[in-house]
């Protein structure tokens, strides 16, 4: 019976190797879901409609929520599906401040996308660890930032005249005390300048405001300007970090600029 000992030793070694390999794979999966900051993304409905070439009917004339996005993490829990009834108490505010601009009769598809892509990752925080907390917490941040009122107070209003991107960024930094990120739709054929589409303000995991960009980061000083791919979901478009220079902040259809 003694010759069986080497076989037991070989089997134990093989099991140990497989466990180590499985642990390493699990570690790599976990790393893919790590993130450092939350990005509160506001988008301008007029530009959303323009980007997807959709003749939106009466888009909101105020900045609405695109999403609350952890950086460097997406789709962290494929089994945690969106359930509309979990946020039924938030519906009036959701429809007002987090609408699906492109499909206004079916907001839930947009919210489902935002939860499954971003909310399941943000849920690593206790303050956002349910669908009601994620959407409710996002609404709270949106209200606290009050971007629409801040832009009005700064005299930054939709206009046929162009703004300098650096002036908008500096003005917002003076209000919030942190550096925002502004996204634009690049000029298309026959257009002179880029069109403002999104404004991002960022938070730490403790939900305190922080700079959105740092030197060397994408969109930051000395860093590359990333392009967001078009997915067909409301606002999920091909915007780029705005270049320094003039930009168009388009008035809603029929509005007097």
114 catalytic? Reply is yes
66 catalytic? Reply is yes
- Selecting among 42, 43, 51, 66, the annotated active-site residue is 66
- Selecting among 51, 114, 116, 200, the annotated active-site residue is 114
Pairing of strands 194-203, 181-185: antiparallel
Q: How many other β-carbons are positioned within 10 Å of the β-carbon of residue 219?
A: 19
The H or E element that residue 162 is part of is strand 159-164
- Between CA 5 and CA 31 the distance in angstroms is 39
What own/partner pairs with CB < 8 Å and gap ≥ 24 does 174-178 have?
175/150, 176/145, 176/150, 176/201, 176/209, 177/209, 178/202, 178/209, 178/210, 178/211, 178/212
Catalytic residues: 66, 114, 118
């Amino acid at each position: 019976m003694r010759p069986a000992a080497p076989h037991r030793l070989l089997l134990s070694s093989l099991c140990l190797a497989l466990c180590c390999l499985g642990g390493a794979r699990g570690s790599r999966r976990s790393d893919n879901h790590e993130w450092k900051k939350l990005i509160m993304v506001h988008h301008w409905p007029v530009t959303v409609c323009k980007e997807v070439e959709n003749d939106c009917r009466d888009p909101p004339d105020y900045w609405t929520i695109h999403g609350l996005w952890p950086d460097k993490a997406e789709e962290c829990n494929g089994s945690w599906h969106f359930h509309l009834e979990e946020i039924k108490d938030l519906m009036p505010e959701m429809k007002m401040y987090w609408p699906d601009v492109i499909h206004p009769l079916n907001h839930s598809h947009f919210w489902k996308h935002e939860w499954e892509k971003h909310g399941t990752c943000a849920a690593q925080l206790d303050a956002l660890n349910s669908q009601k907390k994620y959407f409710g917490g996002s609404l709270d941040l949106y209200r606290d930032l009050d971007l629409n009122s801040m832009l009005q107070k700064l005299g930054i209003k939709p206009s046929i005249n162009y703004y300098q991107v650096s002036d908008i960024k500096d003005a917002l930094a003076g209000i919030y005390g942190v550096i925002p990120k502004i996204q634009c739709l690049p000029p298309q054929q026959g257009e002179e300048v880029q069109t403002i589409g999104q404004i991002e303000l960022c938070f730490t995991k403790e939900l305190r405001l922080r700079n959105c960009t740092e030197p060397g980061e994408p969109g930051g000083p000395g860093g590359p300007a990333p392009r967001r791919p078009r997915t067909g979901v409301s606002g999920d478009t091909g915007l780029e970090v705005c270049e320094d220079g003039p930009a168009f902040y388009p008035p809603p259809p029929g509005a007097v600029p």
